[in-house]
Structure 1
Amino acid sequence: PGGATNVPAYYSWVSFFEKSDVGYGSAIATVLTLVVVALTVVFLRMQGRELGEER
């Protein structure tokens, strides 16, 4: 209620398009993308070790 449960992707969209704060919205989207990529790399490395693959 009242914006108490906004997720980062939606907050980025609101900042970028509705508030016309392009720099802040872009920064949120960039950080969110980097977090997702980092978590993906960690997950894939853990999956590789679990399957017995060495890299």
Structure 2
Amino acid sequence: MPKNEQDPAGSTQQFRAFANRGDAAPSGPKNTGLIIGGAIGLLVVIVVIALLVI
């Protein structure tokens, strides 16, 4: 093993810059699929109830 093995993660300064840069993803609900699925499920229930009433 070489005595001057370099850290594969880079320097501490590079790591701190990476950790402090923040999240680049847009800020919004992360469970959008769950919200859309719930809305569709609610719509199906409303349609079934409407068909039973008529």
TM-score, length of structure 2 as denominator length? 0.44
Q: Which has the higher contact order (CA 8 A, sep 6+)?
A: 1
Where is the helix percentage greater, Structure 1 or Structure 2? 1
- Larger Rg, first or second structure (1 or 2): 2
Q: TM-score, normalization: structure 1?
A: 0.43
